[in-house]
Structure 1
Amino acid sequence: MNLNLANPIVFFDLETTGVNIAKDRVVEISVLKVYPHGKEEQKTIRINPEMPIPKEASAIHGIYDEDVKDCPVFKGIAKELARYIEGCDLGGYNSNRFDIPLLAEEFLRAGVDFDMRKRKFVDVQTIFHKMEQRTLSAAYRFYCDKCLEDAHTAAADTFATYEVLKAQLDRYEGKLENSIEFLSKFSTQNNNADFAGFIVFNDKGVEVFNFGKNKGIPVEQVLKEQPGYFAWMLNSDFPLYTKKILTEIKLRSTGMLK
């Protein structure tokens, strides 16, 4: 079943130096842009992460320091990438928990204000886990009856993710609606205000902290009653996107952000 699209959707996959959203960097990004009329475009870019790639990471994706030493850094391709995916919804495999938060961090480090909140996110892994509970290779075999060659390469994983989503729509026709808005809501598992889950929305739609001594307490209340907490978070090892959301809440609470 082909996707019913109001906007283009970009499926993407990142290969990285590790899994720490705040510290690790992208070494390869592959994007598959699907247009409402069905046209498909795929691009894969290797990136110099400006840090050594740990052997453990290279053993998984097969990309070593020597492979990326002459490649552009993320800042060098950030504006072009932002333009390419502007106006698009985003899809991936485990993307809501990893790829999207890490990509947001890279954009912020590069000084590109790419507002992730304007788009819908479709996480094919979440759909899969809600329906069957497996890995990407198993999902590809289960839904598409194909063996995933070159697993853990960004290009192969990206295209497999796209094919799995289309096959999911065929298999669960009548249960899954062929609309990105529905799939985005269905594949969302959290109520995060930031991507990493340090700040979440409570059942009243209010941002509250989701860690430490202030867990469950509204962010605005904490910032008012504990003035030093804001500075502590900004100077600590939290993701840049978490700090961005925290700053927006503080500015809003003081009337400086409408």
Structure 2
Amino acid sequence: MTTWFEGRLAGFDLETTGVDVENDRIVTACAVQCGGGHPTQSATWMADPGIEIPEGAAKVHGITTERARAEGRPAAEVVEQLVAALAECVLAGQPIVAMNASFDLTILDREARRHGVQPLVDLVGKDLRVVDPRVLDKKVDTYRRGGRKLEDLCRTYDVRLDGAHSADADAIAACRVAWRIATTKPAIGRVPLDELHALQIEWARQQAESLAEYFRSTPGKESWADGVRTEWPMIPAPRDGSAS
């Protein structure tokens, strides 16, 4: 039987104007198909987000407001094409591999609703399967000291990262990390994809609850606990369906 990591993987990553999933916007995006014995195929986008890109965000991913306005495509067009590309992968049976998936998938969902694009979850329904290297790493190596960002995981699992904080490099690196975890940790690699997706929902909830408890017990960080979300792989849209 072919294991999930031996097949085609659909890497996904965004660079954004910030970290507020309800209000920040997509700046660059990548959807990459790799593995499964076929050549890597990558699609990338730069959007004009329609709002100012804060200096701090621009320092991370290198895209200024001026550059996005000059070179970026209309945000609605980018979102529509990105959702379509990911839906095609999902409906072909490929898992979406995304580092900290609940951030990227939630941002994409809110952008779709903002621009009148049918959201990915509406297009693919229960077929969505996600692999999140961050969730997997926290499960298999819970007590390892140090950071858990993509760069940290690449060092831990001896994965090449060709230019951190560009969407295409990060999307491919996330696939490489997921593949490395699966090949070195049989408890992950041997689990059927449907089951692994369901397990990650529970693991992500437990990890978030643990983080919130840490904040509550740490002087000066108590209020941070209120901002910790437990939903995975996406935070449900507000009930009014709005996206500002």
Q: TM-score, normalised by structure 2?
A: 0.70
**Structure 2 residue aligned with 1:66:** 66
Q: Give the corresponding residue for 1:227.
A: none
Aligned to 2:231: none
Q: Give the paired residue count.
A: 196
Is the Cα–Cα contact under 8 Å of residues 79 and 108 in structure 2 kept in the other structure? no
Q: 1:138: which partner in 2?
A: 152
The structure 2 residue matched to 1:169, chosen from 170, 182, 185, is: 182
**How many Å separate the matches in 2 of 1:139 and 1:240?**
27
Map residues 19-38 of structure 1 onto 2, 5 A cutoff: 19-34=19-34, 38=38
Aligned partner of residue 160 in structure 1, secondary structure: helix
Answer yes or no: is 1:148 the counterpart of 2:153.
no
Deviation at 1:106, TM superposition (A): 0.7
- Cα contact 2:15–2:29 (8 A) shared by 1: yes
Paired residues of 1:93 and 1:161 also in contact (CA < 8 A): yes
Q: Give secondary structure in 2 for the equivalent of 1:51.
A: coil
Is residue 15–residue 27 contact of structure 2 (8 Å, CA) maintained in 1?
yes
Residues 1-258 of structure 1 aligned to structure 2 (within 5 Å): 3-5=5-7, 9-34=9-34, 38-70=38-70, 71-87=72-88, 88=90, 89-96=95-102, 98-116=103-121, 117-118=125-126, 119-132=128-141, 133=144, 134-143=148-157, 145-146=158-159, 148-177=161-190, 179-188=192-201, 189-190=204-205, 241-243=237-239
With CA pairs under 8 Å and 6+ residues apart, which has the higher RCO, 1 or 2? 2
Distance 1:174 1:22 in 2: 35
Structure 1 residues 108 and 9, CA, compared in 2 at 3 Å: closer, same or farther? farther
**Partner amino acid for 2:129?**
K
SS of match in other structure, 1:58: helix
Displacement, 1:147? 5.0
Larger Rg computed on CA atoms: 1
How far residue 33 of structure 1 moved from its aligned partner, in angstroms, is 2.2
Q: CA deviation at 1:82?
A: 2.6
Unpaired segments of 5 or more residues in structure 1?
A: 192-210, 212-238, 247-258
**Which structure: greater helix fraction?**
2
Report the secondary structure of 1:44's partner residue.
strand
